[in-house]
Chains A and B, each alone.
Chain A
Amino acid sequence: MSPALFLFRKREWIYFAILAFVLVIVFPSLFDNFRLNLIGKYLTYSFVALGLVLCWGYGGILSLGQGIFFGLGGYCMAMFLKLEASTPEATAIQSTPGIPDFMDWNQITSLPFWWEPFHSFTFTLFATIAVPVALAFIISVAMFKRRVGGVYFAIITQAIAAILTILIIGQQGYTGGVNGITDLRTLLGWDIRSDNARYVFYFICVALLLVSLIVAQFIRISKFGRLLIAMRDKEDRVRFSGYDVANFKIFIFCLAAALSAIGGAMFTLQVGFMSPSFVGIVPSIEMVIFCAVGGRLSIFGAIYGALLVNAAKTSLSETFPELWLFAMGGLFIAVVMVFPEGVAGLYRQHIEPLIVRGTSLLRIGKVRKPRPAAE
């Protein structure tokens, strides 16, 4: 059996194919550039949700600070784009041409040293992942090596998200403050605001998402995936089976951070700016709900969850702005009380049996009993 085939079971290949078909063929042909760009934006949250499935659903590590990594990834990309937009010619009216406009407004007369490397696109691509992962690594080493988990981890990540927001807003000369880094124009000379670019970014985003999905699936079906479940249920048992539990948690948390960072970078490219409002407490906890609605144990669910909640948010807040918070609040309660396995769980309970029955005549081979933990 070749490894690639081994990666998904037969039915999962079908799910994967359906998802790819929807994202690559259906959405682009159904929606105009504007709506497609919106979907692209929603998909950037799918990266975060995917990371949360691994980290929270499987590993039991609830992070209320995914916005930190999403934001850092996005900021790294935004810094590069901002520098590219701040050529001396484009910023000739400033007191110090050649530096980002917000620095000039804050009487900063030369580019801070830590901005310098972001002139390089290669470095930026590297930093987009490396900076968030490094922070995730520091946080997780400090916490997991000392066996801090569960609720404490959630609260501390939330506090870090709060700190980072205040810091970004407070250091506006270096970060653009509450406005964020705005007015991004080109990527390597190519206008990112054009319809054309938006199409391209959408497809890059989809491609990256599908690759991430395969990576997540690889982890899920590997022994690592089973270890995550084992750690979630009986951490001590895993430890006394000879595993250094902290290392596994650190790895999965860093991976989730990396996925969030990719999402953040794609967000910046598609939306055209980055601001502290995607770093803080509220967006971070909303990201958890994307994952929970999709099904905290389903990597496919994560993607649908992010799409569904965001689409609902856009349309509900358009038509019934008053209702939106009620709906969102109800959603949080419902995924805890009524359908803890989210959309994926509902699908497995109600729809999959029908499909299985329908196709049972044609079916070849054994269908495994659906099991929540492994799906």
Chain B
Amino acid sequence: MDVEQPKEFLLSIEGLSVSFDGFKAVNDLSLYVEENEIRVIIGPNGAGKTTVLDLICGRTRATEGSIRFRGKELTKLREHEIVHAGVGRKFQNPSIYEDLTVFENLELSFPRGRSVLGALTFRRDAEVINRVEEIAEMIFLKDHLETDAAILSHGQKQWLEIGMLLIQSPELLMLDEPVAGMSVSERLKTAELLNTIIKKHSVIVIEHDMKFVEDIAHRVTVLHQGKVLSEGSMERVQSDPKVIEVYLGH
């Protein structure tokens, strides 16, 4: 048996690498996330941010290295098993079911009836309805439950997808550019939403919007060429000469 992970680390990534036809998108990366932390990952295009999330949630398979979540090795699990372990993932472009209503979108993410038989015998009981309404309230879509997801605004779609994660009650949420394409007011509401969320969940966010990052981040990790370039508080990272070099150099 492995030694129990130190309590403070919810997620620990060690020596993670992946290469696509020789190109190392992530190279010997190590990263630790604590319980109830908001961690923001930033970095220039092609730094490997999205790939890291892909690796954690099993969308891409690591070439080497380990990802441990609450002491569980994720690199060997399949996507849905990782979800069952408590990791939720939001995609860069809002990924929701456009042909279904907001209610149905949330209902499908409700963590019950996830097997074939379960889905066939699933009943929309009071528990489900209450939970859906509760989440809808959180994500500001209480009045749109019967709306087709296709006609929501871009920002609302982003919220809906966050809601779909929340209803799964994951311990770790991973959000890829959650405020991209949002108006200023939507952005503020999203920050507010995230701040509610971290009371119960840990969050990893990829974001470009520095203002937003400042609003929410506990700690910031800067990726560059698949490696951690710098890590720490926003101020520390911003004053790190290596970071300045990467962002402003060339």
A–B proximity contact (CB within 8 A): yes
For this complex, 28 residue pairs linking A to B, each with C-beta atoms less than 8 Å apart, are A219-B120, A222-B119, A222-B120, A223-B113, A223-B119, A223-B122, A226-B100, A226-B104, A227-B108, A229-B100, A230-B97, A230-B100, A230-B108, A234-B95, A237-B91, A237-B95, A237-B96, A239-B79, A239-B80, A240-B57, A241-B108, A242-B80, A242-B111, A244-B78, A247-B115, A247-B116, A248-B119, A251-B116
Residues of chain B within 8 A (CB-CB) of A248 are: 116, 119
- Asked whether any CB of chain B lies closer than 8 Å to the CB of A162, the reply is no
Count A-B contacts at CB 8 Å. Answer: 83
Query: Interface residues, chain A, CB within 8 Å of chain B?
Result: 218-219, 222-224, 226-227, 229-230, 233-234, 236-245, 247-248, 251, 371-373
CA separation between A219 and B117, bound complex, in Å? Answer: 11
Known: A237-B91, A247-B115. A242 touches B168 (CB 8 A): yes
Instruction: Flag if B116 contacts A233 (CB, 8 Å).
Output: no
Residues of chain A within 8 A (CB-CB) of B111 are: 242
Residues of chain A within 8 A (CB-CB) of B55 are: none
What 0/1 readout, one digit per residue, does chain B (152-164) give for beta carbons within 8 Å of chain A?
Answer: 0000000001001
**Considering the complex, which residues of chain B in the window 165-221 have a beta carbon less than 8 Å from any beta carbon of chain A?**
168
CA separation between A241 and B108, bound complex, in Å? Answer: 8
Number of interface residues, chain B, beta carbon within 8 A: 33
CA separation between A214 and B148, bound complex, in Å? Answer: 26
- Asked whether any CB of chain A lies closer than 8 Å to the CB of B131, the reply is no
Residues of chain B within 8 A (CB-CB) of A245 are: 80
CA separation between A174 and B119, bound complex, in Å? Answer: 42
**Smallest CB separation, A237 vs chain B (Å):** 4
Residues of chain A within 8 A (CB-CB) of B57 are: 240
- Asked whether any CB of chain A lies closer than 8 Å to the CB of B228, the reply is no
**Smallest CB separation, A144 vs chain B (Å):** 12
Instruction: Flag if B99 contacts A241 (CB, 8 Å).
Output: no
Q: A226-B104, A241-B168, A242-B111 are in contact. List 11 more A-B contacts (CB 8 A).
A: A223-B107, A224-B122, A226-B97, A226-B100, A227-B119, A236-B59, A237-B95, A237-B161, A241-B83, A242-B168, A244-B80
- Asked whether any CB of chain A lies closer than 8 Å to the CB of B236, the reply is no
Q: Which residue of B lies closest to A218 (CB)?
A: B120
Q: Which residue of B lies closest to A249 (CB)?
A: B116
Q: Which residue of B lies closest to A251 (CB)?
A: B116
What 0/1 readout, one digit per residue, does chain B (45-84) give for beta carbons within 8 Å of chain A?
Answer: 0000000000001010000000000000000001110011
CA separation between A239 and B164, bound complex, in Å? Answer: 13
Instruction: Flag if A222 contacts B98 (CB, 8 Å).
Output: no
CA separation between A227 and B104, bound complex, in Å? Answer: 9
Residues of chain B within 8 A (CB-CB) of A239 are: 79-80, 83
- Asked whether any CB of chain A lies closer than 8 Å to the CB of B226, the reply is no
Instruction: Flag if B100 contacts A240 (CB, 8 Å).
Output: no
Instruction: Flag if A229 contacts B80 (CB, 8 Å).
Output: no
- From A227, A233, A242, A243, give the contact of B98 (CB < 8 A): A233
Residues of chain A within 8 A (CB-CB) of B96 are: 234, 237
CA separation between A237 and B96, bound complex, in Å? Answer: 7
Residues of chain B within 8 A (CB-CB) of A243 are: 80, 114
- From A219, A224, A237, A242, give the contact of B97 (CB < 8 A): A237
Instruction: Flag if A233 contacts B119 (CB, 8 Å).
Output: no
**Smallest CB separation, A118 vs chain B (Å):** 31
Instruction: Flag if B83 contacts A233 (CB, 8 Å).
Output: no
Q: Which residue of A lies closest to B123 (CB)?
A: A223
Residues of chain A within 8 A (CB-CB) of B59 are: 236, 240
- Pairs of residues from A and B, 4 with the lowest C-beta to C-beta distance, nearest first: A242-B83, A373-B99, A223-B122, A224-B119
Instruction: Flag if B116 contacts A224 (CB, 8 Å).
Output: yes
- Asked whether any CB of chain A lies closer than 8 Å to the CB of B36, the reply is no
- Asked whether any CB of chain A lies closer than 8 Å to the CB of B225, the reply is no
Instruction: Flag if B97 contacts A229 (CB, 8 Å).
Output: yes
Residues of chain A within 8 A (CB-CB) of B79 are: 239-240
CA separation between A224 and B89, bound complex, in Å? Answer: 22
CA separation between A236 and B92, bound complex, in Å? Answer: 12
CA separation between A230 and B99, bound complex, in Å? Answer: 8
- From B88, B98, B113, B119, give the contact of A240 (CB < 8 A): B88
